[in-house]
C-alpha cells in the first residue's frame, strides 16, 4: 500500500526509526512541505510504527530442560535398563547426548521488514475504516483551453491553459482549502468564519471574500494580482497583505511587490488597456491573453510606446489596429504573427 508520492514505505520506516541518511531526511522534509495532508499521513504512520515496536520485544520463552526431561522419561519407559535392578544405577550408565539449543540472532533487517509489513497492514485498515469520513477530492483541469468551475461553497474559478485545481467534495473544518497548479482567477464567496486558502506550489494565498488572479506554473515564479478586496500571501516566514490594485511575485522565499497589471487577467476577460506601454510588453500580454505566437521582426520595435484599449476583439483585428497605428506591417506565417517595420525612435 505505497500511497506516498515519490516516498517509499521503506524510506518512511527508516525515517521514523531514526536510521535515515541526511539525503533521505531531506527528501522526507521536502515531501512534507509539498502538501498539508502529507503531515497527517506521517503522523498516522508514526503512531502505527510505535504500535508495531512491540514486535521487537515479544519473545516466546521455552523451558528446554523441562521438555528434555519429558522426552527422556518416555525413552526410558520404552527401553528399560537390564542390570541389577537399580534403576538409578542403570540411568547412571546411560549415555545421553543432548544438543544444546542455538540462540538465533534476530536479524535487524528482518525486524524492519516485519515491522513495515505490520505497519502497512494496520495503516491499510486505518485508511479503510476512515476513508468514508474523508471528503472525496475533486479536480478540474485544462490543457489547450480555458474553463470555469464552481466550488462547493459557491466560489467561482476561471482556469487558464494547462492548469489544474484540486478541492474537496464538501468543505469541512475551519478552512476552505484548495490546491492550484497553473493559473486561475478566483471570485471567492465571502465567509468570514471560514477563510479560503490556496496552496499555489508551496505559496499560501489566504482570503475571506475577494477576487484575484493567481499564477503558479511549475517553472515560473508565483504571482498574485488583486482585483478587489484583500489577500494575504505567505511563503516560509514571509507574509504580505495586498489590496485592490496590488501585486506580488514570489521568488524562493522572498516576496516582491510589483506594479499592478490588470492585463494579466486578459486570458479571462479578453479586455486589454494599455497606457503608454512598450510594444514589447503589449505583445507579451496579448500572447498570454490569446495564447498565440506573436513576434517582432525588429527587436527595436519593443521600445515603441502605445496607448490603446481592446474590448473582446478578435486577435487578427487587434494586431491590425496596432500595425496601422504604428505604421507597421502585419503578416502571418502558419500560426505565427509577425509585426515588422522600422524602429519608432
340 to 33, 63, 279, 320: CA distances (angstroms) = 48, 97, 12, 12
**Rounded Cα gap, residues 60 and 98, in angstroms:** 21
Distance CA 318, CA 290 (A): 11
pLDDT at 30: 84
Give the per-residue pLDDT at 292: 96
| Domains of the chain listed by start with CATH number | 1-134 (no CATH), 137-263 (2.60.120.1440), 270-340 (3.55.50.30)
Q: Residue 27: which pLDDT band, with cuts at 50, 70 and 90?
A: confident
Residues with Cβ within 8 Å of 234's Cβ and at least 6 positions away in sequence, in order, are 203, 204, 205, 206, 240
Nine-digit cell at 95? 549415555
Query: Average pLDDT of the chain?
Result: 82
Helix (H, G, I), strand (E, B) or coil at 62: coil
Confidence class for position 125, pLDDT limits 50, 70, 90:
low
User: Residue 148 pLDDT more than 80?
Assistant: yes
In this predicted structure, which of 46-60, 229-243, 279-293 has the lowest mean pLDDT? Answer: 46-60
The model's pTM is 0.60
Q: What are the residue ranges of helices labelled H in the chain?
A: 9-16, 22-34, 36-52, 54-57, 64-78, 87-93, 108-130, 266-269, 279-290, 315-325
Own/partner pairs for 262-265, CB < 8 Å, 24+ apart? 262/225, 262/227, 263/289, 264/213, 264/215, 264/223, 264/225, 264/288, 265/185, 265/213, 265/225, 265/227
Amino acid at each position: 500500500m505505497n500511497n506516498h508520492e515519490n516516498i517509499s514505505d521503506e524510506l518512511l520506516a527508516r525515517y521514523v526509526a531514526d536510521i535515515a541518511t541526511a539525503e533521505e531526511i531531506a527528501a522526507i522534509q521536502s515531501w512534507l512541505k509539498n502538501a498539508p495532508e502529507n503531515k497527517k499521513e506521517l503522523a498516522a504512520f508514526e503512531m502505527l510504527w510505535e504500535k508495531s515496536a512491540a514486535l521487537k520485544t515479544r519473545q516466546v520463552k521455552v523451558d528446554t530442560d523441562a521438555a528434555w526431561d519429558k522426552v527422556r522419561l518416555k525413552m526410558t519407559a520404552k527401553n528399560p535398563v537390564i542390570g541389577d535392578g537399580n534403576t538409578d544405577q542403570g540411568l547412571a550408565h546411560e549415555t545421553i547426548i543432548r544438543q544444546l539449543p542455538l540462540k538465533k540472532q534476530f536479524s535487524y533487517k528482518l525486524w524492519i521488514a516485519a515491522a513495515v509489513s505490520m505497519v502497512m497492514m494496520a495503516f491499510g485498515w486505518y485508511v479503510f475504516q476512515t476513508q468514508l469520513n474523508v471528503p472525496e477530492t475533486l479536480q478540474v483541469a485544462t490543457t489547450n483551453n480555458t474553463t470555469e468551475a464552481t466550488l462547493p461553497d459557491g466560489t467561482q474559478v476561471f482556469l487558464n491553459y494547462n492548469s489544474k485545481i484540486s478541492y474537496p467534495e464538501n468543505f469541512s473544518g475551519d478552512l476552505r482549502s484548495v490546491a492550484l497548479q497553473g493559473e486561475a482567477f478566483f471570485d471567492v464567496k465571502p465567509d468570514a468564519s471560514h477563510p479560503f486558502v490556496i496552496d499555489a506550489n508551496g505559496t499560501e494565498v489566504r482570503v475571506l471574500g475577494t477576487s484575484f488572479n493567481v499564477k503558479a506554473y511549475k517553472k515560473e515564479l508565483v504571482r498574485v494580482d488583486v482585483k478587489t478586496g484583500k489577500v494575504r500571501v505567505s511563503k516560509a516566514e514571509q507574509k504580505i497583505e495586498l489590496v485592490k490594485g496590488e501585486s506580488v511575485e514570489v521568488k524562493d522565499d522572498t516576496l516582491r511587490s510589483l506594479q499592478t497589471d490588470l492585463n494579466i487577467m486578459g486570458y479571462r476577460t479578453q479586455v486589454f488597456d494599455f497606457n503608454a506601454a512598450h510594444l514589447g510588453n503589449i505583445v507579451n500580454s496579448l500572447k498570454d491573453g490569446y495564447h498565440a505566437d506573436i513576434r517582432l521582426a525588429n527587436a527595436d520595435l519593443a521600445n515603441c510606446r502605445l496607448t490603446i484599449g481592446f474590448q473582446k476583439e478578435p486577435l487578427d483585428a487587434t494586431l491590425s489596429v496596432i500595425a496601422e497605428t504604428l505604421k507597421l506591417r502585419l503578416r502571418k506565417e502558419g500560426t505565427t504573427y509577425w509585426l515588422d517595420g522600422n524602429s519608432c525612435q
